[in-house]
Amino acid sequence: MSAEPDGPEDRLRRFATIWSRALYPVTATSLTRPEFESQLLPLARQLRQDLAERVFRAADCEAVGAALVATHCTEPEALSRTLDVVDAYLVLYCGEEAEPDEAGRAGGVGEREELRARCSRIQHAVAAGFARALRERTRAEQEAISRAALEARGTVAEALHASEARFRAVFHGAAIGIGIADLEGTVLEVNDALIRMFGGLEHQLRGRNVAEWTHPDDSPHVWKLYEELVRGDREHYRVEKAFYRPDGTVLWTNLTVSLLRDADGVPQYQLALMEDTTERRLLNLRLRYEATHDALTGLPNRTLFFERLEKALAAGESARFGLCYLDLDGFKTVNDSLGHAAGDRLLVEVADRLQSCATAPGEMVARLGGDEFVALTTGPDTEHEVDELAGRIMHALSTPIRVEGRELTVRGSIGIVEGPAAERGAAEVLRSADITMYRAKHAGGNRYELADPEADARAITRHGLTTALPVALERGEFFIEYQPLVHLGDGSVRGAEALVRWLHPQHGVISPDRFIPLAEHTGLIVPLGRWVLEESVRQARTWEAVTGADQAGLPLRVNVNLSPCQLTHPGLVSDTVEILERAGLAPGALCLEVTESALIGADDDLLKPLRRLAEMGVDIALDDFGTGYSNLANLRRLPVSVLKLDRAFTQGMQHFPADPVDLKIVEGIVSLAHSLDLAVTVEGVETGAQADQLRELGCDTAQGWYYARPGPPDRLHELALADAT
Ligand code: C2E
Ligand code: CA
Ligand code: CA
């Protein structure tokens, strides 16, 4: 080790050295190893640049793959060794912007992950470039060989009739394998190229009969064509054919066989021209493997699974199939709290366990993506087997998985579809399984459920709504109703809560309880929530213009609900500020409602945006308070100024006399809230008796049907003006 740390150029050279050592043994180059290394150096430099580039340029990396082919690195092994070297050493030697830490790794965790991500994209692009270049080269070669084969055929025929010497020269100099047999199939002559292809032993070929070279992969027409040729009914044929070499390994060839006639046109010999395609086949198999398998877990991927499922569904009238669609419960939490590396390890372990559940013939397991897996069974008794399979999967997941020194409990929800093949298409089957899986998840997870067409139909409307949601926002199908917030002391209207509705072209008005969860699930909640905020803020500004301030000098305020996903969205603070400024509304006229459950266990990062908004003067209300299990002492930490008591408490006061325990709880909450300087709003007030009771208990504001149902915005300032007079 030298005392001076290596410069970037030294490190680049070391990378090129490692790369050339790995590649050299598997290339067909005539260069020496150091010469070969100097050819790799510019390619290494290119890769280093690609790694440093913020904008990923796939074409540059593909060019590196193509350059490898041009330097005679055409074996599949050369590609896989290159990918291994890039994977293991590129970031280490060429990820140099950041200083290496004591373990020799570059940069901070975030940067390292970024480099790793870029490195894997580089590998993909290099592989793609390599495969394309090889395909092009193969095509060019094939054309040359076909040309050569035609020429050879002509020349051999000519040579046979002319001089023996000339015949020998053509025969032995040819780059492709050539063999001559009589019409009984006995091999008379083979050239050196053919002998090499078969492992180098001439006596293993000469004198043998062509018919001995049957191979299990021969298609029946191979031998039919052969029969026609030796009978003289056909001049030539071309097939792809496998042979066993004497050592038992398989040789794949493109085989062209031609009939040679004598000067009078009587069939005499058959001439075989063979091109070795074994390596190309291997590479194709490998590329196909990569295209049909998941890189992380090695399981078949979605593409291969669909192929198998389609095959199973096309298996005929009497065939049945069974399918388990598995989604892990709470996987996102693992990913978010322990990091993606831990999440990946968990998925690999889950994949291994699943694989061991489906080992019988006709069974397969695949990863569809993320934490979603499927298991397929096609045995004779799938009705019974698919249940057993689901049971095995649940059991396999029941032992905790050790990741980074922690025991993680893994649970999953499974949707099962079983039935006769030939009734449905693959996409439909998978959708039914997906819907059923969601049903299992909604029932609490850690269970399996069987598809049921009726439940499917209900859920399909759910699916239908989900797909219609994004367009609905574009088409302006949402509208907002406002429900007044009334001061319990003097009965004046202080503001309103904005409640969104969806006017669906077919289903009419749909309540938020039905579509908000879907919008949260699909992420549409962020633009939808922003739209609600924009509309409501504009509306509040209109009220202000019409009614002015109330007795206390405050304008009518508007309450807007925020979903948990909006809380974590980075644009929350800036969007809100911009919306308020554009409408010209004071921050104090806006109150954002956040549910108690969204803030349970919230850390400072989550609270920061809310705190910023509160500092600006926006009120934050804790919605549905009392339904979660938040620690009352915790309230002090939260940047909230209003508690909204859940409807459940109000319901307890519907009957007279009210439940004394409820009364005590509400009384306790109100006094605690007031001691923390929080105002208390009650929801769901439906009767005057409830209103009186809640006023006595010290609640500040109320909302409910007793005062008004949610309605159009104009009604609100009518109410407000009415009670001002
Ligand atoms: P929430 O925030 O608890 O809203 C109060 C719900 O109680 C509203 O239901 C309202 O119509 C209903 N309500 C009002 N007074 C009474 C009453 O006296 N008795 C009874 N039984 N119910 C009453 P709605 O409009 O169906 O909204 C349901 C939930 O949908 C809301 O519950 C809120 O969580 C969510 N939501 C509504 N609009 C939005 C929105 O713009 N964004 C987000 N993220 N969620 C929203
Ligand atoms: Ca609310
Ligand atoms: Ca509420």
User: CATH code at 94?
Assistant: 1.10.490
Please identify, among 425, 451, 477, the residue that sits at the C-terminal boundary of a domain: 451
Is 85 a pocket residue for ligand 1 (Cβ < 6 Å)?
A: no
The pair of three-digit structure tokens given for residue 724, joined into one six-digit string = 């001002």
Identify the CATH number of the domain in which residue 361 sits.
3.30.70.270
- Give the largest CA-CA distance in the chain: 124
In-domain check, residue 159 = no
**Does residue 102's CB lie within 6 angstroms of at least one atom of ligand 1?**
no
Range of the domain at 121: 8-137
Q: Of the candidates 451, 483, 508, which is a domain's last residue?
A: 451
Same-domain pairing of 470 and 447: no
Residue 520 sits in the same domain as residue 656: yes
Report the nearest-CA residue for atom 30 of ligand 1: 512
The length of the chain in residues reads 725
Residues 259 and 366 in one domain: no
Confirm whether 317 is domain-assigned.
Answer: yes
- Cis preceding-peptide flag for 246 (omega within 30 of 0): no
Nearest in space to 161 (alpha carbons), one of 174, 170, 173, 149: 170
pLDDT band at residue 672 under the 50/70/90 scheme: confident
Q: What's the pLDDT score for residue 2?
A: 42
Please state, as a whole number, how many other Cβ atoms lie within 10 Å of the Cβ of residue 308: 19
Measured CA to CA, the distance from residue 193 to residue 191 in angstroms comes to 6
Q: Which residue has 């896989």 as its token pair?
A: 80
- Clarify whether residues 580 and 511 are in a common domain: yes
Share of the chain above pLDDT 70, in %: 90
For ligand 1, say whether the CB of 289 is within 6 Å of any of its atoms: no
Does residue 419 sit in the same domain as residue 484?
Answer: no
> Quick check: CB of 690 below 6 Å from ligand 1?
no
Asked if residue 65 has its Cβ within 6 Å of ligand 1, the reply is no
Secondary structure string (H, E, C) spanning 342-397: HHHHHHHHHHHHHHHHCCCCCEEEEEEECCEEEEEECCCCHHHHHHHHHHHHHHHH
Q: For the full predicted model, state whether its pTM sits above 0.85.
A: no
Same structural domain, 407 and 348: yes
H/E stretch holding 188: strand 187-190
Nearest ligand by distance to the CA of 702: 1
User: Which pLDDT tens digit goes with each residue over 299-323?
Assistant: 999 889 999 999 999 988 889 999 9
Distance 624 CA to ligand 3 centre (A): 4
- Residue 652: count other Cβ atoms within 10 Å of its Cβ: 18
Task: Choose one of 85, 120, 137: the last residue of a domain.
Answer: 137
Residues contacting 318, CB < 8 A, separation 6+: 420
Question: Nearest C-alpha to atom 17 of ligand 1 is from which residue?
Answer: 684
User: Order of strands across the sheet with 236-244?
Assistant: 187-190, 177-182, 267-276, 250-261, 236-244
Whether residues 394 and 313 fall in one domain: yes
Place of tokens 């049909």: 292
Ligand 1 within 6 A of CB of 624? yes
Beginning with the edge strand found earlier in the chain, give each strand of the sheet holding 411-420 in spatial order. 363-369, 372-377, 320-329, 411-420, 447-450
Q: How far, in Å, is the centroid of ligand 3 from the Cα of 682?
A: 9
Read off the CATH number of the domain in which 182 is found.
Answer: 3.30.450.20
Between 104 and 61, the more confident residue is: 61
Q: Is residue 3 part of a domain?
A: no
Cα separation, 72 vs 592, in Å, equals 66
Does an H or E element contain 592, and which? Answer: strand 590-595
Amino acid, res. 600? I
The per-residue pLDDT for range 319-352, each reduced to its tens digit, is 999 999 999 998 888 888 888 889 999 999 999 9
- Name residues whose C-beta falls within 8 Å of residue 96's C-beta, 6 or more positions apart in sequence: 8, 11, 106
Are 470 and 605 in the same domain? Answer: yes
146 versus 260: the higher-pLDDT residue is 260
pLDDT at residue 166, rounded to an integer: 59
CA of 549 to the centre of ligand 3 (A): 26
Tell me the two tokens of residue 276. Answer: 């070795």
pLDDT in tens, 117-137: 888 888 888 888 888 888 888
Please name the residues in contact with 61: beta carbons below 8 A apart, sequence gap of 6 or more.
46, 47, 50, 121, 122, 125, 126, 129
Q: Are residues 446 and 470 in the same domain?
A: no
- 42 and 181 in a single domain? The answer is no
**Residue 61 shares a structural domain with residue 111:** yes
Q: How many folded domains does the chain comprise? A: 4
